[in-house]
Amino acid sequence: MSGWGGTVLVYLKYPEPGRVKTRLAATVGPARAVELYREWIGHVFERLQPLRPAVSVIGAIDGAAPEAFSPWVSFVDGWWQQPAGDLGHRLDAGFKQFHNANAPVLAVGTDCLELDADGIREALTRLLNCDAVFGPTSDGGYYLVGTSRYLPGFFDAIRWSSSDTLRDHLARCRDHNWRTELLPQLDDIDTGADWEAYRARTSGRASEPRLPTVAVVIPTLNEESGLPQTLNSLRNQSIPPDRVIVVDGGSRDRTVEVARELGAEVLATATRGRGNQAAVGIAAVTEEVVLVGHADMVFPPDALRRIGRHLLEHPGCPGGSLGHRFDSNRWRYRLVEWFDRRRAESGMSYGDQAQFFRREWLDRAGGFPAQSILEDVELSARLRASGRPACLNCPVTVSPRRFERLGLVRALWQNWQVRRAYRRGGVAAVHSLYERYYPPPRSRDGRRDSSR
């Protein structure tokens, strides 16, 4: 192998009372145990994100179909259903499935909250020169296991969930002359005592600095069906937004009512175009950071925390994007996502990748582009004029409805044409481009409705 890379399998169960963290539940109760377990899933996945895309993160799931794990879909590169059998059989099946000749495989659970991306990098680096690596715990088990290649029988004859687990595994490695390395000891959280010990260890650490305030602005037009998912994903953020504003452009369905029912502020405008609508919302906010969303986006649970942390840790960053993943299993959308991510990493993102920016910085660069089309392209250009925009690789899930309606090739061709026309004509071409690609609907008498 040259350099480190590989696959991390995160073994997890569907959060259900009586099936997860049963020893912890004896102390805190089944409902609280499930609540904590859900938080830990997000915590572990979040800590792995800096490794992507060099490392593939796979959710090894048990207890439900992949759709049930949708709150964490943006954190993984795929789901893999664990087979029936004991832990050894399930680990062996995962390693056999994901090993190849050039990259190692690691397995972790969701119980070790102190394992981070640096720990995974260390494990992968160790595997450049050995056959197996273990992350030991004080109870005789391990929080991480990895191999540089598939080793038949590696998980056989191990006394699982006991004080002899690691001892048995190291003995098996010696018997087969497999070279092993040990990482620093960390602890899993299995019981109420483990949870209290973890809280005691971490309570003395410096508290997280204040993150910047965030306002989310969402332009809408007839989005009553998709908007609830979008707003609920914002309500369920680990750090909720300080303000959510829906700017409606004249919906004729229940979009406005749905937005208010779900706690969003609603502004109305008769001005056509998503960029114009977004500009109305942005003019009404005073928060330090603005995130411009679309009404078909589902935000991952730690999206706003990731934005705040990045901007806090990178004071020279003017803004950027989260990235996107289409709500479809078709491989062609993975290609579109890949190209769009490469473009965003160079500083050119699109609106369906969830763009965000420091309000003060953008004001100095000319403000948010109040234009009916290609406001996202213009926004990227203004951010790049202020610094290096970030691509956080924390993708929102978006609908492929436009691609499905037009056909992928036609939609991509149309995108290319409109971007080329904008490069040639600039802001002066915006109105004609909008009229060309988003003509007003016809009224019953066949005339164009000029209200949109």
Helix (H, G, I), strand (E, B) or coil at 144: strand
Asked if the model's pLDDT at residue 58 lies above 70, the reply is yes
Q: Measured between alpha carbons, how far is residue 26 from residues 84, 265, 322, 385 in Å?
A: 26, 42, 39, 56
The DSSP element (H or E) to which 304 belongs, if any, is: helix 303-313
Beta carbons of 239 and 308 less than 8 angstroms apart? yes
Instruction: Give CA–CA dist 387/222, Å, rounded.
Output: 36
Q: Which of 111, 88, 82 is nearest to 9 (CA)?
A: 82
Instruction: Give CA–CA dist 182/170, Å, rounded.
Output: 10
Q: For 272-317, how does the pLDDT look when each residue is reduced to its tens digit (9 = 90+)?
A: 788 889 999 999 998 999 999 999 899 988 899 889 988 888 888 8
Residue 394, pLDDT score: 87
Asked if the model's pLDDT at residue 24 lies above 50, the reply is yes
Q: How is residue 44 written in tokens? A: 């572990």
Is the pTM higher than 0.75? The answer reads no
Q: Lowest mean pLDDT: which of 115-124, 197-206, 267-276, 306-315? A: 197-206
Asked if the model's pLDDT at residue 46 lies above 60, the reply is yes
CA 54 remoteness from chain centre: 16
Percent of the chain with pLDDT over 70: 88
Instruction: Give CA–CA dist 440/413, Å, rounded.
Output: 22
Residue 409, pLDDT score: 78
Q: What is the largest CA-CA distance in the chain?
A: 85
Asked if the model's pLDDT at residue 205 lies above 60, the reply is no
The more confident residue out of 142 and 381 is: 142
Residue 154, pLDDT score: 95
Q: For 237-269, how does the pLDDT look when each residue is reduced to its tens digit (9 = 90+)?
A: 888 899 999 999 999 999 999 999 999 999 999
Asked if the model's pLDDT at residue 78 lies above 80, the reply is yes
Beta carbons of 217 and 275 less than 8 angstroms apart? no
Q: How far apart are the first and last CA of the chain?
A: 58
Q: What is the mean pLDDT of residues 316-337?
A: 88
Amino acid residing at 452: R
The more confident residue out of 410 and 167 is: 167
Q: What is the mean pLDDT of residues 326-352?
A: 87
Residue 443, pLDDT score: 44
Asked if the model's pLDDT at residue 373 lies above 60, the reply is yes
Q: What is the mean pLDDT of residues 390-403?
A: 86
Q: What is the DSSP letter of 350?
A: -
Mean model confidence pLDDT for the chain: 86
Q: What is the mean pLDDT of residues 406-415?
A: 74
Q: At what angle do helices 408-425 and 331-345 cross, to 10 degrees?
A: 20
Band of residue 372 on the pLDDT scale cut at 50, 70, 90: low
Asked if the model's pLDDT at residue 204 lies above 60, the reply is no
Instruction: Give CA–CA dist 376/449, Å, rounded.
Output: 26
